[in-house]
Chain A
Amino acid sequence: MPKHDTPLMDELEKGPWPSFVSDLKRQAEKSPQCWDIVGQMELSYKDRMTHWKHGGIVGVFGYGGGIVGRYSDVPDKFPGVAHFHTVRLNQPSSKFYRTDLLRKLCDLWEKRGSGMTNLHGSTGDLILLGTKTEELEPLFYELTHDLEWDLGGSGSNLRTPACCIGKARCEWACYDTQAACYAMTMKYQDEIHRPAFPYKFKFKFSGCANDCVAALARSDLSAIGTWRDNIRIDQAEVKNYLSGANKANGGGTPAKGDKFDIQKEVIDLCPTGCMWMEGDTLKIDDAECTRCMHCLNVMPKALRPGLDQGASLLMGAKAPILDGAQLGTLIVPFIKMDPENEFEELVDVIEKCWDYWMENGKNRERLGETIQRVGLPTFLRVMEIEPIPQHVREPRSNPYVFWREEEVEGGWQRDIKEFRKKHAQ
């Protein structure tokens, strides 16, 4: 496959940010089909339109997902991308790698595919970008036998779970996000590889309310770490912030104002106003704290999460299609996340939810839309969760309230003749 003339793509080799075009061209020296990737992109830039045909159904035996089929609509011009399927690999939790494994993967992908990748897909998978149908089974064979590495998810199933960096390198992780992510991934391999759901379903695991894996916005079930006792305060380190010996926000916000002002930067920004100074001692009324993380973020050396740790579960986040975007809705305010009991409390919630949604969700209806359709009260009831004020931002303002017949004295079966005895027409 020869090099194409690509004046528009060449423009993207300029500038300081790493250029995907330069990288594609470097790979093309070893994998000539990459010239056709650049060539077809150039045509798209000229036509201002995609040149991939609609859809594509390919895969490996035994699985119903994991590979996204794709075919060029100009295969005669660019035979190197006539087939251009992507393969999703389930990434290790929080994306740490040993180089020996990555090098083996590079060798395999250079042999079986284009040599191009995405590190990583938005859901978390390591994406191998572009190969032919006949390479899929040999690639899968070598991947599972030689690298002991499995595909991720695609289709109406559990997609590849993901987590933040958690306890591996963060002082705020309130539970072991990697362990939870790995345990749920392994427990639900069947649900990942063989679509059995009304639509896609995603898990994400964040260690605290900063939510570095954006669980609350990007997963049908998000577990976000928190605590239910008191923030641990090191008053000596508070004084070091006051004196300027410690840098606010770990030194991450140096531009706006040099001298740290605890009143302005912490106390006045606390969303519940539950903090104050007594002399140079910092006080927190923890019963009023909503654990938003702001004060911990600003003073990481002085303030730490409490010791009674667990997670909040929020459910139903999704992008706009079909009925509008949704963020996760708080369903379970606090559960323990214990690797010792294999995250038993989390598993209980997951399976109750799936039992209901798999039966009641409509075709291509995300969990968040099912909850909207049946109503949060109904969903809480099927989840066997008692309604509490924490489930709402505010109580409803319309009076269109459903009562179930058994909640009303005497039920709903009434006789109009009995009514007429007391109230003539």
Chain B
Amino acid sequence: MGYDPENPMKDRITDIGPPHYEKMFPQVIKDNYGKWLYHEIVKPGVLKHVSETGAECYTVRVGCARLVSVEYIREVCDIADKHCDGSVRWTTRNNVEFMVDAESKVQPLLDDLASRGNKFPVGGTGACVSNVVHTQGWIHCHTPATDASGVVKAVMDELFDHFTNMDLPAKCKVALACCLNMCGAVHCSDIAILGIHRKPPMVDHDAITGLCEIPLAIASCPLGAVKPATVKDSSGKEIKSVKVNAERCMFCGNCYTMCPAMPLADPEGSGIAILVGGKVSNTRSGPTFSKLVIPFLPNTPPRWPETVAAVKKILEAWAANARKYERVGEWAERIGWEKFFEITEIPFTDKSIDDYRLAYDTWRTTTQFKFTSHIK
């Protein structure tokens, strides 16, 4: 038996939810649930948790491309069966974690992982650059301004030593979103890579009437740049469409999300912006948004050298200058953003000055500033 298309509601099971988490635990997790006392990072990528019962759980964290095949998952399962009694987990940053219940089982696991080429790099703990939270890009999405998987691979190749070591002042979370819908964590990461457009949408007057609910496209614009209009299509027939006021458009692409007849992607116009200084944790300074410091870098597949260089330069400037425990945003706030731009040698442009709604709150309303090379 199986699905019967003649009788689609027959035997249909719905609303059963996910598999229950308790059935997924390794024994040491099941036995010590809620009893953990403390943890240590034994070395990069290896965690040790100690329970009130005296039990120990060793976790080996490995990098993962997120976009993975079932062949890869089967290989993960082989490793978990051989070393971890058939359990494995993924983290909130899409790394894989293998857990064992004794110190003696750690080295054989590490040796096995190392024997499999570059598929399972161990790291991502402590003051490091862990995995890059990222989106679909050109592998699956219709609104991206850049790719996700390729840019992330290029960046992680360059920052690889910071994944496998803990040599930074604090953790540095890097995220990527391929458009400003920001699926994921771009608005709250230490260093964020964001796909942006720089050309207003084209309007396909021949298609718009049949494809779009025009009031939705109008309401989708944060700046009121989309207006209803009566125009002639290519056959000379009058139709209801929209007009885009190009001076008011800042290329967010939200009208295209709503209306397939308003595409805006462009090989030269679209590219990448870099934002820095966001964080989610409430430690010390509390959560903050990341701020735009580089308004545009070109899309240069397959390895995006300009983007990779910019991320590396920001990371290294922070690593050399920040105090222990200081996240990128905490460092930039302490030294002042004028110093951030000077130290990172990023040219400051008007694109970094906010001009949207509550912009005034971000301007400088004090005489407190530092003299930097920017003041001529």
How would residues 260 to 294 of chain B score, 1 for a CB under 8 Å from any chain A CB and 0 otherwise? 10010111001000000000111111110100000
B30 to chain A, nearest CB (A): 9
Q: Which residue of A lies closest to B319 (CB)?
A: A255
Check A119–B185 contact: CB distance below 8 A.
no
Check B121–A117 contact: CB distance below 8 A.
no
State the CA gap A255–B161 with chains docked (Å).
14
With A23-B69, A294-B284 in contact, do A41 and B139 touch (Cβ < 8 Å)?
Answer: yes
With A49-B265, A52-B140, A95-B91 in contact, do A185 and B18 touch (Cβ < 8 Å)?
Answer: yes
Which residues of B are found within 8 Å of A44, using beta-carbon distances? 138, 147
Please tell me which stretch of A99-107, A348-356, A381-389, A416-424 contacts chain B, meaning at least 4 of its Cβ atoms lie within 8 angstroms of it: A99-107
Check B92–A150 contact: CB distance below 8 A.
no
- Quick check: is B182 within 8 A (CB to CB) of the other chain? yes
Check A145–B11 contact: CB distance below 8 A.
yes
Check B135–A106 contact: CB distance below 8 A.
no
Q: Which of A63, A169, A217, A247 has the most CB of B within 10 A?
A: A169
Interface of chain B residues 188 through 247 with chain A (CB within 8 A): 188, 216, 219-220, 222
State the CA gap A9–B138 with chains docked (Å).
12
Which residues of A are found within 8 Å of B13, using beta-carbon distances? 144-145
Check B280–A30 contact: CB distance below 8 A.
no
Check A171–B36 contact: CB distance below 8 A.
yes
State the CA gap A297–B39 with chains docked (Å).
10
Which residues of A are found within 8 Å of B299, using beta-carbon distances? 48
Check A254–B166 contact: CB distance below 8 A.
yes
Check A182–B18 contact: CB distance below 8 A.
yes
State the CA gap A14–B118 with chains docked (Å).
10
Check A122–B73 contact: CB distance below 8 A.
no
State the CA gap A164–B280 with chains docked (Å).
13
Check A15–B280 contact: CB distance below 8 A.
no
Check B92–A50 contact: CB distance below 8 A.
no
Interface of chain B residues 163 through 195 with chain A (CB within 8 A): 163, 166-170, 180-185, 187-188
Q: Which residue of B lies closest to A37 (CB)?
A: B139
- Quick check: is B323 within 8 A (CB to CB) of the other chain? yes
State the CA gap A257–B324 with chains docked (Å).
8
- Quick check: is A269 within 8 A (CB to CB) of the other chain? yes
Q: Place the interface of chain A in its size category.
A: 35 or more
Which residues of B are found within 8 Å of A298, using beta-carbon distances? 325
State the CA gap A350–B172 with chains docked (Å).
34
State the CA gap A162–B270 with chains docked (Å).
33
Which of B71, B266, B285 contacts A115, CB < 8 Å? Answer: B71
With A11-B302, A117-B73 in contact, do A17 and B157 touch (Cβ < 8 Å)?
Answer: yes
Interface of B, secondary structure class, is loop
How would residues 1 to 12 of chain B score, 1 for a CB under 8 Å from any chain A CB and 0 otherwise? 011010011011
Check A19–B153 contact: CB distance below 8 A.
yes
- Quick check: is B80 within 8 A (CB to CB) of the other chain? yes
Which of B74, B90, B118, B216 contacts A106, CB < 8 Å? Answer: B74
Q: Which residue of A lies closest to B43 (CB)?
A: A251
State the CA gap A27–B74 with chains docked (Å).
11
B206 to chain A, nearest CB (A): 15
State the CA gap A142–B125 with chains docked (Å).
38
Which of B23, B67, B160, B256 contacts A129, CB < 8 Å? Answer: B67
Which residues of A are found within 8 Å of B121, using beta-carbon distances? 16-18
- Quick check: is A209 within 8 A (CB to CB) of the other chain? yes
Which residues of A are found within 8 Å of B270, using beta-carbon distances? 48-49
- Quick check: is B311 within 8 A (CB to CB) of the other chain? no
- Quick check: is B307 within 8 A (CB to CB) of the other chain? no
Check B187–A51 contact: CB distance below 8 A.
no
How would residues 133 to 158 of chain A score, 1 for a CB under 8 Å from any chain B CB and 0 otherwise? 00001101110110111100000000
Check A18–B284 contact: CB distance below 8 A.
no
- Quick check: is A396 within 8 A (CB to CB) of the other chain? no
- Quick check: is B295 within 8 A (CB to CB) of the other chain? no
Q: Which residue of A lies closest to B357 (CB)?
A: A324
A326 to chain B, nearest CB (A): 9
Q: Which of A55, A118, A292 has the most CB of B within 10 A?
A: A118
- Quick check: is A53 within 8 A (CB to CB) of the other chain? yes
- Quick check: is A370 within 8 A (CB to CB) of the other chain? no
- Quick check: is B16 within 8 A (CB to CB) of the other chain? yes
Check A168–B283 contact: CB distance below 8 A.
no
Which of A12, A26, A129, A327 contacts B71, CB < 8 Å? Answer: A26
Interface CB pairs A-B, < 8 A, 18: A41-B139, A95-B90, A96-B21, A99-B88, A105-B73, A117-B69, A119-B68, A148-B16, A169-B49, A169-B99, A189-B14, A189-B15, A211-B280, A249-B325, A256-B127, A320-B182, A324-B356, A324-B357
Q: 9 smallest A-B Cβ distances: which pairs?
A: A252-B126, A15-B157, A27-B69, A54-B260, A209-B282, A141-B3, A96-B24, A106-B70, A17-B156
